[in-house]
Structure 1
């Protein structure tokens, strides 16, 4: 068999998956339809499992395909589909090109206790209701955050430079795109993770996949008994070391002439370098005298690891507690007297929500926190940038999960359902536009003390003008002024009132207090004669 062709085919497929996944995150002009994005993400393991739990349908059964592939061909998911795995291969490729030593990699012992303990804790914590460990360890979600918070800003900057140059020449094929800057804490965390992955893969190949990644550990258990896999023939092997040097998983032990199949990622790097035909990719055969067992002691460890995983799952009855955050109160800034004789004004009142606002389709904060892997796909796709990664808005349990940031970012577009259309885990369920427009994410709260109408005797009304459901209206106040009034039964918590409020955060005169469980708002009544014909508005 021409193993070099097999290896090149694997590389082409891997680059195709990587490119499509990357483009789904950096698609600034929304060229890729939501259906395409869903199909690309369909086969990502952890998101597929979480979505399947929600919908119980084969339409979300991408992980089943991965498991079947693992039984048949080994860990091809890790070598051709996982974006973080492919990213590591890129760093390893650079390291190999820069390396001047004859032997680049060599066999290293496994750390099964570490692998199985991390897998057990991740599964147990998820069953207990927390997805935090999955958020931190899932390879797809980590790759998504790299694409969203590090790669996309670079592409947006390049786009804006090109758009600016073209627009000076009266060419408008590109337009300037505003990208909200994520907090330094999130950017620093993602950058640190990327540097760590780059270092590990540069020095040790797929060490992250075979030591830390729970998906890799689980698929490694399945792949040990794969039907077609790399097999080492002890009769033909001369122990030249070429295969071990090419193995990015460091799993070929030439001293004992065995392969640790729980760590083999089916990259096929070892196959074309063997000139003695001692390594083959084949079905089991009577003539094959390879030692296909694991390293001495590993089989025993597998039984212990499986038992540890089972016990951790069944015994898990606790969950990380999310401590309530008390409503903060503090003194605001003092300002001079406003016009109109309004006299001395009291200090501003803190307008800080006690509960964060989750995206439409999440149903409840608890459900959302237990399912979202913080991959950043919805944040990257949000047209108004209102979705931003949380730091401590949900507590530690929801680190990096998206929340609605009305004060600093934007507001939820009344006619947009993009985040729910592309969410790969089912944490944000698809909503028909009619239902989305009545889903109450939170309720607007008016703080009269902070309003410029009350404090400065100045006309405003920005909140009322932007409210799509007319939950905020202007009512007579004093001295011919009007002041906002909120009908919370009509409010859907979209933030269109909070975002344009001219008072600086955290002293907004109107803000949205999140609903921990989403409700349905009343449908606004349309007044007769509310809309005039176009000809009457513009008689000329």
Structure 2
């Protein structure tokens, strides 16, 4: 019964977490996504440290569950854990085995506690670098976003084109900007490691590499309910050891290493003699003859787990200007641009776990993983890439979904005044200057009119009625629409320079329309 509950809940968490990263139509209800993200340990902890609110205390729920029942998080809530279970299941099919054939593995405490200590020291030093590389949720997000989402979008687009050819339009193609190959190294390496360890040894990744698993394993030493072998009923058949994906059951010595048990309950489901108990820790030293398996406790565990469960492509039209003369002044940006709601670079890099949920959710794909733009320790944390897109004036999705609080939620009105950078114009690169050609793409796409056009007399064509961009830093919010729309090459004539600490822009002036005199009769 316990295993069935565990499987159902883990599949639901895995499904919803996957949809979060794959959903380009934003069809998943925000409440469901909120519940899934609330219980992800590392993002929840980081967010709690930032805002000290019960709304970010999901990690405390996980800690309480662990103190009560052990590593329930690893078997039900963590999507990377469920991914490992899928791999383990298919490895059994690949090996043509009717049953799993795991063995008891000696704990590699030196490695797993070393990685945990490194992660903690990194966090205390003010860097999330080690945590970003090892956090299971963030690794799952990067794997889905960077490796599987492009495949998913490719299938969607091919299907859309096929259906459109026969006048069926209920699937639409989605623009995809692509990912730098070098940024695929980390998710590919983690996926390869997870594949190898899961294929050969079940949940060895959870019990060796994952710092969350190690921390929760340490806490599970003090769990009130623990799985133990009942020596009265155990016949030493070894079936429980063979199905234990964590490799924590030693049938020879009638011992369960509960610090490595991930709570999958395969052993309960497989034991033919009821040789395992979910024992209340305080009765462990009492007479075994007085102990019975309390099925109401199992129901309570299942009920608790069910309660925790309860708790497009947008294509931007650039103005088609024929650029036949290349410019010569390179764009040298001093700092990367962090997304609106992130306060600034320091706060963002100190809080972002690089899960890439914002990258997958951004409708204009302006959010892209960084390489060394934030420095080595900020590798993979998202940045605003105005070559890929721009920040939609009417969008605040990234702040709404960020699980770690690196991008804080704002109202749309607040977001429209957050100045993440300021516009810079390089006259020498503009086609109006280099070619004596009208353009105005930057001004047309600026939502605040911080970029506007003014009359310009070109020295080579003084009789031509030309206009050239003029900028107003005070009302610029740094959205990058002007930079994205600028057609010049190889360098942009207009770009956004980052504000290391975000500022507040002034409201753009709204011109009032003159009232229309409606007293006269209609002329016809």
Same fold (TM over 0.5): yes
Q: How does 1:124-523 map to 2 (within 5 A)?
A: 124-284=121-281, 285=283, 286-288=286-288, 348-407=328-387, 409-478=388-457, 479=462, 480-505=465-490, 507-523=491-507
CA-atom RMSD in angstroms: 2.2
Partner of 2:21: 25
Please state if 1:83 is matched with 2:79. yes
Instruction: Say if 1:94 and 1:288 are closer, same or farther in 2 by CA, change over 3 A.
Output: farther
Select between 431-440 and 231-240 the one with higher mean Cα deviation.
231-240
Partner of 2:306: none
**2: CA distance, partners of 1:265 / 1:271:** 13
**2: CA distance, partners of 1:196 / 1:350:** 41
**1: CA distance, partners of 2:244 / 2:203:** 9
Gaps of 5+ in 1: 290-334, 339-344, 534-538
Q: Secondary structure at the match of 2:104?
A: coil
Partner of 2:318: none
- Once the two structures are TM-superposed, the CA of residue 52 in structure 1 deviates from its matched residue by 1.1
Instruction: Say if 1:229 and 1:455 are closer, same or farther in 2 by CA, change over 3 A.
Output: same
Deviations along 1:399-431, whole A, 9 cap, x unmatched?
111111002x11000010000011000000011
Q: Secondary structure at the match of 1:489?
A: helix
Please state if 1:71 is matched with 2:55. no
Q: TM-score, normalised by structure 1?
A: 0.84
Select between 347-356 and 227-236 the one with higher mean Cα deviation.
227-236
Q: Secondary structure at the match of 2:499?
A: strand
Q: TM-score, normalised by structure 2?
A: 0.87
- Once the two structures are TM-superposed, the CA of residue 51 in structure 1 deviates from its matched residue by 1.1
Q: Secondary structure at the match of 2:62?
A: helix
Q: Secondary structure at the match of 1:473?
A: strand
- Once the two structures are TM-superposed, the CA of residue 103 in structure 1 deviates from its matched residue by 7.1
Runs of 4+ in structure 1 over 6 Å off:
530-533
**1: CA distance, partners of 2:112 / 2:489:** 48
- Once the two structures are TM-superposed, the CA of residue 99 in structure 1 deviates from its matched residue by 2.8
Q: Are the equivalent residues in 2 in contact too, given 1:14–1:86 (CA < 8 A)?
A: yes
Gaps of 5+ in 2: 290-322, 518-522
Q: Are the equivalent residues in 1 in contact too, given 2:129–2:377 (CA < 8 A)?
A: yes
Partner of 1:299: none
Instruction: Say if 1:84 and 1:532 are closer, same or farther in 2 by CA, change over 3 A.
Output: farther
Q: Secondary structure at the match of 2:481?
A: coil
Q: Are the equivalent residues in 1 in contact too, given 2:92–2:100 (CA < 8 A)?
A: no
Counting matched residue pairs gives: 477
- Once the two structures are TM-superposed, the CA of residue 256 in structure 1 deviates from its matched residue by 2.6
Please state if 1:529 is matched with 2:509. no
- Once the two structures are TM-superposed, the CA of residue 97 in structure 1 deviates from its matched residue by 2.6
